[in-house]
Each structure stands twice: as C-alpha cells, then as structure tokens.
A and B are shown apart, each in its own frame.
Chain A
Amino acid sequence: MKSSVRTLLFLLLLIGGIGTSAAYRDHRGVRIDSLEALLHSANPPQGEELLGVYLDLMRGYPPVDAARWEMYARKALALSYRLNKLNAREGALYNLGLMAYGRDEFDTALGYYQWALALTDSMRHDKRYSSSTIDDNLSQLYGAIGNLYNMQDQLLLAIEYYQRALPIFERNGWLESQCILYHNVGELYLSMGNNEKAEQNYLLALERGEQAKDSLMMALPRKGLAKIYLGQEYDKARQTLLPAYEYYHAHRAEEPGDYAEILASMARLCLQSDSTERAKAYAEEALTYADAVMTEIRCDAYAAACEVAMAEGHWQQALEYGLQSVHDDDDEATYSDASCYVLLADIYTQLGDKEKARLYINKVYDMMARFATEHYQSGITQMEILYETEKKQAAIEQLTREKRWLTMGAVLSGVVLLLVALLFFLLWRSVRLTRRHALVTAKLEGERTERVRIARDLHDRLGGILTALRMQLSEPTALSLTDDAIREMRNVSHHLLPDSLTRYGLRTALSDYCQTMKNVTFSFMGEEQRIAHEEAIYCIVYELVNNAVKHSGAEHIRVQLVAQRDYTAVNVSDDGKGFAPPGQATADDGSGLQGIRERVAAIGGTMDVFARQGEGTEINIELKINTRNDEQREQ
C-alpha cells in the first residue's frame, strides 16, 4: 500500500511539480552509506540478502546519484535471474524504465514497463507472490505508463492508464491512492479545458480524501476545484479555497509549488470581491514562491499578478507579468495560455498597440481550434465507460439474482412435489452432462500437461544430445541425417507446444506457425495482448489449418484472430473444394470436425461451420469472455 501511494505521489510530483523528496533525502543518505559499507565489509551479504541490499540501494539512490541508481538496478536485475526472483526483477525493470523516462527516452521506458507488466502477469501463476504484491506492481506500472503518455501530451491515453489502477485501489480499499488518482485525472481534464469532467474527478477525490480523513488529500482536490469555481461562483470558490489555503499556508515550506498555486487563486478571489490591495499582496507572495518551481505554476502566478496589475490600471506592469505568464513556444502552450492571451490582447488594446492585440486574439482563435475538437472537450476515455458499464452490470445482476430467488420461492410453495420430481430428473441429466463435460475437460487438461512435458523433454534433452552428436560426426551422410533429426525434433516439439505461446501469447504463436506454412496468411485485430485458453485455441487452429491443408485442396488459407476485451474470435477460411453443409453431409462433416467441436465446447466457445460444395470452407470460433468473473477469480 505504502509503495503505491509513494508512486502516485511521484506521479503527482510530475504533474504538480513540487519537491517533497527533500524531506527524505538526509534520512536516506545515511541508509545508503551504511548499505554501501555493508557491501564492502569483510563479510559481504550473499544470495537473497545481497539482492535485498541491491534493491534498497536502487531505491535509495534516485535523488542522489543517477549513475549508481542504474548500476544497482542492473546488478539487481542480473542477480534476480540467478536467484529466480520475479518480484525483484520487476522492481529492477521498473527502475530502469524510470531512468529511461528521466532521460526522455520514452520508447525505451515503455519497453521496460511493458516487460515488467508481462513479468507481473506471469507472477500470478507463482504461489510465492501474493495478490497484493501483484496489485502493487500493476498500479505502479499503470501510473508510470500514464506518466509517460502524459509527458508526450497523449493525455487521453494517460488518463486511460491512470484509470486502469482504479479497480485495484478500490479492491484493496486504498483511499489515498484513489484520491490522488482522481485528482491527477482531474488535473489532466482541467489542462484539456474539460471543466465538467475535471470537477467530477476532483469531487470524487475530495470524497475519498474525506473518507481517509487526510488533510493533504482534502486540500489537493480543493485546490483544483477552486480554479474551476473561480470563474463561476464566488461563494463556492471561497468555500473551497479557504480550507485549502489554510492547509498549504501551514505547509508552505514543504509544498512551495502548491502554495504558489493557492496564492494565485486567492489573488483572483480577492479581485472578484474588489479588494485589490489584498489581491496584490497575495499575487506578490505567489511570485516569490513561484520562481523556484516548474513552469506551469509560475505561469499561473504571473497570470494572477497580471490580473491584479490590470485591476489597478498599471498597464505597463501588467504587460510585463502577462508576457511572463505564457509559454515562449506556441507549441508548448496549454489551455491555460488561452486565458493569458486574452489578458494580453486586452492590455495591448489599452496601451494602443492594435497590431499586438490582434496577434493575441488570433492566438486565442488558434488555441480554440486546437482544443475545441469534440473529442478533446468531452473525451471520456474508454476505460471509464467500460468500468462504469461493468459496475452497472454487476448491480443489475445482483437485482436479477434477488428477483430470481423470490420467484423460485413462489414456485416452490406452489408445486413442491412436481418440482421435486422435476429436480430429480434434471439432476440426473445434469450429472450425466457434467460428467461428460468434466471428462472432456480432464482429457484436454491431461493432454496439455503431457504435451508440455514431452515438448520440454524433446527440446531440452534430445536436442542437446543430437547437437553434441552432430559435432562429433564428419561423414557427410551421417551429418545430413543428424540435421534432419534435429529439424524434425524441433518441428515435433514446436507443434506440441510452441515456446512462444507460453511466453508471448497466442498472437505471436499463430503468427509464427502461419509464417512457416507456405500458403497460410495470418492477421490480427484487437487490443488484448494475452487471452484466456490460449493453448486450447492454438491446438484448435493448428488442427483446422492442418485439415484444410490435407483435405480441402485449397490454394490459400487465411487465419484471423480477433482479440477484444469481451470476446475472442478465430476464423479459418480457405478457397478449397468445401463440402455439403451439415444435414446433407455424410456422417463425417469435414474430417474430424466433431472432435474440434468438442474441444471448443470444453472451453465454453461456439463454433460455426460455413461450407458449400465448391465454394471453400469458413470456420468461425467465438469465445465470450466474462471479464467480471475473471476479476473475481483473481481476488
């Protein structure tokens, strides 16, 4: 829990631009030194203990020494391989990602994060790691990827990734993390000019902050809310702003950036109540704090000072402040620059410089065009919709379940005897069906385990011996026979269970398989990387393609995989001779399709065969994925 709060605080640092790490620095410095001393002592730690020291050093160095941070991350990564510690490896990868991020190497960073995500995914199947460790890692990585997109100005993508962490926080009841997440999303929406969504998220953040009874978590969203209300309702703005001011005033040494933002808002509030004197005092104080912090906040403070100077009629000074309040480079301009442009246009008009005034008016128009696209303004991310729909679905299902019980009760009291008889019949039938289903499933599972074992054995044991044998031979015929044996062994072991399937998933494995077949093309559509029942689906497609190659006489076979969040579909089509549709067909509807049908049913899928004499065959398999159930199972 602690580490995810820390991550998001880190995230907050980037968005809000404040430096709370100063408080940690001294304390951590001591720890680093003692750890270094331990490493170079007469009796240095070994094995897992050494890995622990590396990880502590890796986490301790970031604010102090980037080179050593990297060195210990790499050492931890290497040692994690030797000791087979997945969580340590994840930590090292995450840190390497952070380093790349710090160097602005975004692609590299994304690569490390995704590697870490895949690794975390594989930790699910490892009993050594608890679900809270996995949740911790996932939320940390989602936050990091969100930051990455945020820095590249892909704000909607950033929001989407931040929101992926939300179910995790809710599941674990991490209120502070939820609060920071909502606050960050609110900040992003605000910077896109979508006040409605920003307000919504700030309010949710405030609610979580109140639940957590955390004064910082309440002050944060209030700071954002106040900015929205300042332009609209004085009373609401005042009510929201004052408690936040109180908090940040008390903590102004630790959070100078946030305090500067609050002061700018206070200045604006005073301007609205016509107390220009006090507004000026706040604006000036904001400027003294703002110079030390990041651009966005400095702009905000200067804009407030500019507004105060305008209210006083000091146009020349207003101009100075106004010019400081906008980004030098138009490309970097954000939504808040637009309001500063308006101020500048106003000032230049007062100063009689029509040219300049017109220039800034045009800039406003440009900005409007940039930001007013419908997508940007009301951009609700897909994740949010999905998440909301899922929640509603759960509520509906709950209701249906309750209703079903009522109906059942009524029926029971009415026709008890009949029902008992019926139940017995149903029970008998379902036992028979379940038994059959269980048999098929058990058979498939047994088959799978056996496949894995044989494939590994072939590849690891026989492969090594064959290779060694090959090197002892000089007779050309013997050599070429050994080559054939190696190649054949490789094919057999690959077709039993391709390594790429377990490691990289169905898409890669199918692409590999189709690439090695002469007349088969593969295409993929969708967004899911890993899907359920990959091995079963692979075997099914393998057989379908084999069937088509052997029996259809097709010139071309096409395999398509669609992997969406809620369903997976595979389509195998060929231009071969086809066959008569079922009903008119003979007992064997196209070379062992019955067996495949059973496999599809065993994983809960449906299969449709579409064939006409002379018009090729098309087989479509679809698997609905109940995402909600999956999540429950993970808990």
Chain B
Amino acid sequence: MTNKESSKPAVIIADDHRMVAEGIAHLIEKGHAGHVCAIASTLGEAEALLTEHQPDVLLLDVALSDGDGIDALPVLAAVSPTTHFVVLTMYAEPSVIRRALEVGVEGYLLKSAGVDELIAAIQTVTGGGTYICREAKSINRKAGEAPPALTPREREVLRLIVQGKTIKEIADELCLSFETIHSYTKYLRLKLDCNNTASLVRVAMERHLV
C-alpha cells in the first residue's frame, strides 16, 4: 500500500487453483486495475499475507482447502482492517451471496464474469462502493422465502372442519386415511397458530379462509 506503485491498489488473491489465481493476477496487471502483491492458496496463508501486506483489496474464493472464505472473513478483516473484500467464486447460490453480503463483503464476482466486471469491481470497492456482478444480481432478485400459506387441500380440510365434520368423516369424504387428515389438521393448527379445533373454526371464519 505504501510502495512505489501506490497509485494503483494493492491486491491479494486467495484461490486454491494456482492457475486461476495467476490468470486473474495477469488480467488485473494487464488491465492496469491494480498491482497483485501476493497469491494465497489457503485461508491460513491469506491471513499471514494480509497481516504482512495490508492490501487495498482481497479477492477471496469461497471454497478453500482449509475452510470457507466467507466464514473466515471476520478473522481476515480483523488482521487487515483497511482491506476491501471481494468474493470471487463459482458459487451462484442465493444463500451464499446473501451470506457474503451479511458479513460485510463489498464485492461479489462470479468466475464466469468478464474482465470488465473484474476491473469495475476493484475500482468500485476501492472507491468505497459495493459491486455485485450482473449474474449474481439477477439471481438475487427473486425473494428467497414466501410466507407460509394454506395449500388447496389444507383449505379443503379446513372447510370440512368448519362444517363440523370429524377427522374420520373428512377422511371418508376425501378418500384419504385418518392419519393423513390428522396430519393436515396438525399443519393447519401450526400455520394458523391455533391450539384446538374450536379456535381453528374461529380463525377460519374471522379471516374468511373458507
């Protein structure tokens, strides 16, 4: 950070595929986006190199041989507080992206992203911004979990309960086993937060569920 090339951000790459790391280093140097001062292939090495170099940017893979890069992030951030962290990974799972952003990563790049995105990411994070590559952004757009709702069959069972039918009668009517309907009433009570059949009926009426 304080060497001669101080105009360009100092970068460390942590990736257990040496060829990949060297390729990325080459691209960064060629695109004049930064100066790669070291390459680490394990989290342990990354920690030591971060302590030594205090770089501006760390490009961090998620799956490393000695652990998960995102899990280790608080540790890495502690040894080099001024470093900006960019995750560079093959993982496109929404939960991984979400987790990375939660621990304070400032950039998320998929390995299928282009050089332009790699350079843009380094420039954005050193400028104080956050950079998420296009593909990761599009993946993360849809909501992860929807609130629980009644399924068509749960609705039907509820309707029959409100009509005053017993589990056995409902099972006969729907040609299903007693246990199945019993399970369904269990889910209904859980979803509608009711302790017994009477409150199920009340909630069903109040919320116009049947």
Known: A464-B20, A500-B93, A523-B146. A562 touches B152 (CB 8 A): no
B43 at the interface (CB under 8 A from A): yes
B44 touching A81 by the CB < 8 A rule? yes
A581 touching B175 by the CB < 8 A rule? yes
Complex Cα spacing A511 to B180, Å = 26
B93 touching A81 by the CB < 8 A rule? no
Interface centre among A471, A503, A618 (most CB of B within 10 A): A471
Known: A82-B44, A464-B20. A620 touches B144 (CB 8 A): no
Stretch of B3-11, B52-60, B66-74, B120-128 at the chain-chain interface: B66-74
B176 at the interface (CB under 8 A from A): yes
A463 at the interface (CB under 8 A from B): yes
B143 surroundings in chain A (CB, below 8 A): 515, 521
Pick the contact of A524 from B26, B42, B148, B179 — CB < 8 Å?
A: B148
Pick the contact of B95 from A460, A500, A523, A620 — CB < 8 Å?
A: A500
Known: A74-B75, A512-B93, A516-B94. A468 touches B17 (CB 8 A): yes
B191 at the interface (CB under 8 A from A): yes
A147 at the interface (CB under 8 A from B): no
Nearest CB of chain A from residue B19's CB, rounded to whole Å: 4
Instruction: Across the interface, name the chain A residue whose C-beta is closest to B135.
Output: A487
B147 touching A523 by the CB < 8 A rule? yes
Complex Cα spacing A415 to B66, Å = 65
B23 touching A468 by the CB < 8 A rule? yes
Complex Cα spacing A266 to B187, Å = 54
A470 surroundings in chain B (CB, below 8 A): 111-112
B23 surroundings in chain A (CB, below 8 A): 467-468, 471-472
A378 at the interface (CB under 8 A from B): no
Nearest CB of chain B from residue A213's CB, rounded to whole Å: 45
Indicate with 1 or 0, residue by residue over B113-154, a CB within 8 angstroms of chain A CB atoms: 000000000000000000000000001001111111101110
B78 at the interface (CB under 8 A from A): yes
Known: A460-B63, A464-B19, A487-B112. A82 touches B43 (CB 8 A): yes
B96 touching A500 by the CB < 8 A rule? yes
Nearest CB of chain B from residue A121's CB, rounded to whole Å: 14
A483 at the interface (CB under 8 A from B): yes
A511 touching B94 by the CB < 8 A rule? yes
B152 touching A618 by the CB < 8 A rule? yes
B93 touching A78 by the CB < 8 A rule? no
B145 touching A523 by the CB < 8 A rule? yes
Complex Cα spacing A63 to B71, Å = 28
Indicate with 1 or 0, residue by residue over A594-635, a CB within 8 angstroms of chain B CB atoms: 000000000000101010000110101010000000000000
Pick the contact of A490 from B75, B90, B175, B186 — CB < 8 Å?
A: B90
Nearest CB of chain A from residue B203's CB, rounded to whole Å: 16
B177 surroundings in chain A (CB, below 8 A): 608
Pick the contact of A486 from B19, B112, B184 — CB < 8 Å?
A: B112
Complex Cα spacing A525 to B79, Å = 39
Known: A515-B139, A523-B146. A620 touches B94 (CB 8 A): no
Nearest CB of chain A from residue B62's CB, rounded to whole Å: 9
Q: Which of A539-597 contact B (CB under 8 A)?
A: 558, 560, 562, 564, 567, 569, 571, 573, 581
A459 touching B180 by the CB < 8 A rule? no
Indicate with 1 or 0, residue by residue over A55-83, a CB within 8 angstroms of chain B CB atoms: 00000000000000000001001110110
Pick the contact of B151 from A471, A512, A522, A560 — CB < 8 Å?
A: A560
A508 at the interface (CB under 8 A from B): yes
Complex Cα spacing A516 to B143, Å = 10
B24 at the interface (CB under 8 A from A): yes
B152 touching A573 by the CB < 8 A rule? yes
Pick the contact of B90 from A486, A509, A558 — CB < 8 Å?
A: A486
B162 at the interface (CB under 8 A from A): no
Complex Cα spacing A618 to B92, Å = 30
B95 surroundings in chain A (CB, below 8 A): 500, 504, 508-509, 511-512
Pick the contact of A515 from B17, B68, B78, B144 — CB < 8 Å?
A: B144
B20 touching A468 by the CB < 8 A rule? yes
Q: Which of A413-472 contact B (CB under 8 A)?
A: 459-460, 463-465, 467-468, 470-472
A573 touching B153 by the CB < 8 A rule? yes
Complex Cα spacing A487 to B111, Å = 10
Instruction: Across the interface, name the chain A residue whose C-beta is closest to B102.
Output: A111
B91 touching A471 by the CB < 8 A rule? no
Nearest CB of chain A from residue B17's CB, rounded to whole Å: 4
A82 surroundings in chain B (CB, below 8 A): 42-44, 66
A78 touching B75 by the CB < 8 A rule? yes
A562 surroundings in chain B (CB, below 8 A): 187, 190
Nearest CB of chain A from residue B66's CB, rounded to whole Å: 5
A618 touching B63 by the CB < 8 A rule? no
A622 surroundings in chain B (CB, below 8 A): 183
Indicate with 1 or 0, residue by residue over B140-175, a CB within 8 angstroms of chain A CB atoms: 001111111101110000000000000000000011
A41 at the interface (CB under 8 A from B): no
A525 touching B191 by the CB < 8 A rule? yes
A363 surroundings in chain B (CB, below 8 A): none
B176 surroundings in chain A (CB, below 8 A): 608, 610
A224 surroundings in chain B (CB, below 8 A): none
A257 at the interface (CB under 8 A from B): no
A143 at the interface (CB under 8 A from B): no
Nearest CB of chain B from residue A564's CB, rounded to whole Å: 7
B145 touching A524 by the CB < 8 A rule? yes
A494 at the interface (CB under 8 A from B): yes
Complex Cα spacing A571 to B180, Å = 12
Complex Cα spacing A503 to B139, Å = 20
A616 touching B152 by the CB < 8 A rule? yes
B201 at the interface (CB under 8 A from A): no
A571 surroundings in chain B (CB, below 8 A): 151, 187
Instruction: Across the interface, name the chain B residue whose C-beta is closest to A511.
Output: B144
B26 surroundings in chain A (CB, below 8 A): 471
B44 surroundings in chain A (CB, below 8 A): 78-79, 81-82
B191 surroundings in chain A (CB, below 8 A): 525
Q: Which of A492-519 contact B (CB under 8 A)?
A: 494, 498-500, 503-504, 508-509, 511-512, 515-516
Complex Cα spacing A307 to B1, Å = 69
B106 at the interface (CB under 8 A from A): no
Instruction: Across the interface, name the chain A residue whose C-beta is closest to B94.
Output: A515
Complex Cα spacing A195 to B180, Å = 43
B90 surroundings in chain A (CB, below 8 A): 459, 463, 467, 486, 490
Residues of B within 8 A of A (CB): 16-17, 19-20, 23-24, 26-27, 42-44, 47, 63, 66-68, 71-72, 75, 78-79, 90-96, 111-112, 139, 142-149, 151-153, 174-177, 179-180, 183-184, 186-187, 190-191
The 5 closest A-B pairs by CB, nearest first: A82-B44, A471-B23, A464-B17, A468-B19, A521-B146
13 residue pairs of the A-B complex, CB under 8 angstroms, read: A79-B44, A81-B44, A81-B67, A115-B71, A463-B111, A468-B17, A470-B111, A483-B112, A511-B95, A516-B94, A573-B152, A610-B153, A620-B184
Q: Apart from A515-B142, A524-B145, what are 14 other A-B pairs with CB-CB below 8 Å?
A: A81-B44, A82-B44, A464-B19, A465-B19, A467-B90, A471-B27, A486-B112, A500-B95, A516-B139, A521-B146, A522-B144, A560-B148, A560-B151, A608-B176
